Amino acid sequence: MATAAQPTRDDFASMLEESLGGSETFEGRVVTGTVTNIENDMAIIDVGLKSEGRIALREFAAPGQKADLSIGDEVEVYVDRVENAHGEAMLSRDRARREAAWDRLESEFDETARVEGTIFGRVKGGFTVDLGGAVAFLPGSQVDVRPVRDVGPLMGMPQPFQILKMDRKRGNIVVSRRAILEETRMEQRSDLIQSLTEGQVVEGDVKNITDYGAFVDLGGIDGLLHVTDMSYKRVGHPSEIVNIGDKVKVQIVRINRETQRISLGMKQLESDPWDGVAAKYQIDQKATGRVTNITDYGAFVELEPGIEGLVHVSEMSWTKKNVHPGKIVSTSQEVDVIVIEVDEEKRRISLGLKQAISNPWEDFAAAHPVGSIVEGEVKNTTEFGLFVGLDGDVDGMVHMSDIAWGVSGEEALDLHHKGETVKAVVLDVDADKERISLGIKQMDQAEEGASSVAVASSVKKGDTVTGEVVDVRDGGVEVSIDGGATTGFIRRSDLSRDRDEQRPERYQVGQKVDALVTGFDRSKKPNLSIKALQITEEKEAVKQYGSSDSGASLGDILGEALGKSKDDDKS
């Protein structure tokens, strides 16, 4: 029997070179190895190299679990180096799992597919997630659709995630659990919103309350219950009607299927208090209500639950003008009002507060007829007269021409000052315009028993009177007429037809003048005009000497007479 030839030195060298050359192709690759032994916390793995490698058992376990590994198991490992300084192969189970996971995740990321992972740790700003070998970062804002205080129940539980960003070179993966929940929630919302109809009555739970309303969970989709749809009565804040956690019955008022927004209402389930309100609250009817709100332009008064009317600031007080409504009434105050206007379609009722009490101007006119004497304090002085406070919290005005005899209006204003108590004669009362005219200088005649001189005078409009000039001013002259019982004023423009003669300085105190009574001022003083008297006399002359058919004026008549005189001289 022939013996086998022994390998030569050259054959052994070629075999060694072949062995070493093949091993170099293992580095940087994932290969399959066999567990040959387990020593303490290390697993001995044979991958077909000259030497075996060691891998810690923890690399074979999922986060938070123990390794399930036995001798003879085949596992995939990553060959980092064929041989280290100790002659052992450097292997990694984590790196093998990571490389395989990255290949899989890149494919799923390109397809925007969901990936399964497990939250296993907490880091600054978020959490770490195991994606089957690759570790990803889960930002705190991407955990849930709402802030989560305790993430404990989510730890260690496999669940789906969405990859937002990944960079293999940097080993960076960012995932989101919130995106998965929102997508699921959107699908549920779409199914639920299709099953709802406007006008439908449903039940829900109050989840959140804001200043403008409350959000109600209808079983997977939220609807807004606006504060104006909670009750027919005025609601200051939604918390007055509902609280978080309350189960409420609501009606679907409006559905926007494109934006998936739902508007809800509670008052729609009640009877409308505005039905038939026009018949219940008629114009000029007196009612009692409670002040619910005060604004710059008035106050709202609740006549009954759900029925409010507005008292405009102009209808709040007879005497208090330009005053904020808050200084007249207060919130929750019970007040009597008068119905001014009702608009059932626009749901508006106009109310009057001052109409519920007597008109102080009418009361004053009844208690103080024209010619009576009153006493009051000078409340204010203006460039045209004095304002005097009277009974009933009303003011009367003394025009500067009615302050004193024989002096100009400006001089008369200097005779009295604010806070002084004066007596005056009532010259006129206009309750509709809320005006009271007083006269101080008329007190001289009133004390002599002629308190109503202006009214008792026999002078009438259209009378021609002869008077005596008692005062000359820049604006005209004041004339005493009717035997000195009263005075009248002739304005500058009424002193003559001729504009050149309309000069008050042409007249002197004591001079007699003829004038026509053209009317009376608010204090019943006659207005006089010399100009009107001249025009009237001219018309009388035309009427007497001229033809009414010709329309000739006095100038025409005189011109014609002069013409005839010249013709006679020529002949």
Mapping DSSP to helix (H, G, I), strand (E, B) and coil, where does residue 242 land?
coil
159 found inside a domain: yes
At 558, which helix (H) or strand (E)?
A: helix 554-570
pLDDT at res. 1: 43
- The larger pLDDT score, comparing residue 548 to residue 343, is at 343
- Alpha-carbon distances, residue 18 vs 4, 5, 12, 242, 382 (angstroms): 22, 20, 10, 85, 124
**Whether 310 and 329 share a structural domain:** yes
39 found inside a domain: no
**Whether 463 and 570 share a structural domain:** yes
pLDDT at res. 196: 84
- Alpha-carbon distances, residue 473 vs 218, 289, 345, 465, 476 (angstroms): 86, 58, 61, 21, 5
Domain housing 504: 458-571
**Whether 350 and 374 share a structural domain:** no
**Whether 252 and 287 share a structural domain:** no
The confidence band for 100, taking pLDDT boundaries of 50, 70 and 90, is: confident
pTM of the model: 0.46
Describe the strand order of the beta sheet including 74-81 as a list of residue ranges. 53-56, 42-46, 30-39, 74-81, 90-92
On the question of pLDDT at 536 being above 70, the answer is yes
119 found inside a domain: yes
On the question of pLDDT at 203 being above 70, the answer is yes
* Residue-wise pLDDT tens digits, 147-185: 877 888 888 888 999 989 988 888 888 999 998 888 877
The confidence band for 335, taking pLDDT boundaries of 50, 70 and 90, is: very high
Residues 455-467, mean pLDDT to the nearest whole number = 74
* Residue-wise pLDDT tens digits, 343-378: 888 889 999 998 888 888 888 888 888 888 899 999
On the question of pLDDT at 565 being above 50, the answer is no
**Whether 303 and 349 share a structural domain:** yes
Q: Are 439 and 404 in contact (CB under 8 A)?
A: no
Q: Are 333 and 289 in contact (CB under 8 A)?
A: no
Strand 373-381 versus strand 385-390 pairing type: antiparallel
The confidence band for 568, taking pLDDT boundaries of 50, 70 and 90, is: low
pLDDT at res. 372: 87
Closest CA to 250 of 211, 210, 207: 207
Residues 237-257, mean pLDDT to the nearest whole number = 88
Place of tokens 């005899």: 405
* Residue-wise pLDDT tens digits, 402-428: 888 767 778 888 888 888 889 899 888
Alpha carbons 403 and 381: distance in angstroms, whole number = 12
**Whether 402 and 481 share a structural domain:** no
Q: Are 101 and 114 in contact (CB under 8 A)?
A: no
On the question of pLDDT at 305 being above 50, the answer is yes
On the question of pLDDT at 90 being above 50, the answer is yes
207 found inside a domain: yes
At 54, which helix (H) or strand (E)?
A: strand 53-56
Helices (H), 43-152: 93-110
148 found inside a domain: yes
Residues 494-507, mean pLDDT to the nearest whole number = 88
**Whether 174 and 201 share a structural domain:** no
**Whether 348 and 368 share a structural domain:** no
Mapping DSSP to helix (H, G, I), strand (E, B) and coil, where does residue 220 land?
coil
Strand 172-176 versus strand 159-167 pairing type: antiparallel
pLDDT at res. 347: 86
Alpha carbons 128 and 140: distance in angstroms, whole number = 10
Q: Are 163 and 174 in contact (CB under 8 A)?
A: yes
Q: Are 162 and 197 in contact (CB under 8 A)?
A: no
pLDDT at res. 14: 56
32 found inside a domain: no
* Residue-wise pLDDT tens digits, 316-334: 988 888 889 999 999 989 9
**Whether 348 and 367 share a structural domain:** no
- Give 419-437 as a DSSP string: T-EEEEEEEEEETTTTEEE
Eight-state DSSP code of residue 7: P
Show the tokens assigned to 535: 């025009």
Domain's final residue, options 127, 158, 182? 182
pLDDT at res. 523: 59
Residues 521-528, mean pLDDT to the nearest whole number = 73
Alpha carbons 452 and 371: distance in angstroms, whole number = 5
**Whether 167 and 118 share a structural domain:** yes
Closest CA to 467 of 478, 459, 479: 479
470 found inside a domain: yes
pLDDT at res. 22: 46
Q: Are 379 and 324 in contact (CB under 8 A)?
A: no
Q: Are 404 and 410 in contact (CB under 8 A)?
A: no
Place of tokens 């309750």: 431
* Average pLDDT taken over every residue of the chain: 80
Alpha carbons 97 and 59: distance in angstroms, whole number = 9
84 found inside a domain: no
**Whether 263 and 299 share a structural domain:** no
Residues 279-296, mean pLDDT to the nearest whole number = 90
| Integer-rounded Cα radius of gyration of the chain | 54
Q: What is the CATH number of the domain that holds 301?
A: 2.40.50.140
Show the tokens assigned to 314: 């102009």
Place of tokens 């939604």: 238
Closest CA to 103 of 90, 115, 92, 87: 115
pLDDT at res. 349: 92
Residues 257-278, mean pLDDT to the nearest whole number = 84
Show the tokens assigned to 124: 């600054």
Name 422's bridge partners. 376
In the chain, how many domains are there? 5
- Alpha-carbon distances, residue 147 vs 132, 142, 143 (angstroms): 27, 9, 8
Domain's final residue, options 428, 453, 478? 453
Alpha carbons 273 and 232: distance in angstroms, whole number = 8
The confidence band for 35, taking pLDDT boundaries of 50, 70 and 90, is: confident
**Whether 446 and 462 share a structural domain:** no
pLDDT at res. 410: 80
Q: Are 267 and 229 in contact (CB under 8 A)?
A: yes
pLDDT at res. 169: 81
CB burial of 501-524 (b: ≥16 within 10 Å; e: otherwise) equals ebebeebeeeeebebbbbebbebb
Alpha carbons 324 and 291: distance in angstroms, whole number = 15
SS3 string of 128-150? EEECCCCEEEEEHHHCCCCCCCC
Closest CA to 517 of 530, 504, 499: 530
pLDDT at res. 546: 62
Show the tokens assigned to 478: 């004041």
Domain's final residue, options 336, 356, 376? 356
Residues 184-192, mean pLDDT to the nearest whole number = 76
Of 71-80, 199-208, 370-379, the range with the lowest mean pLDDT is 71-80
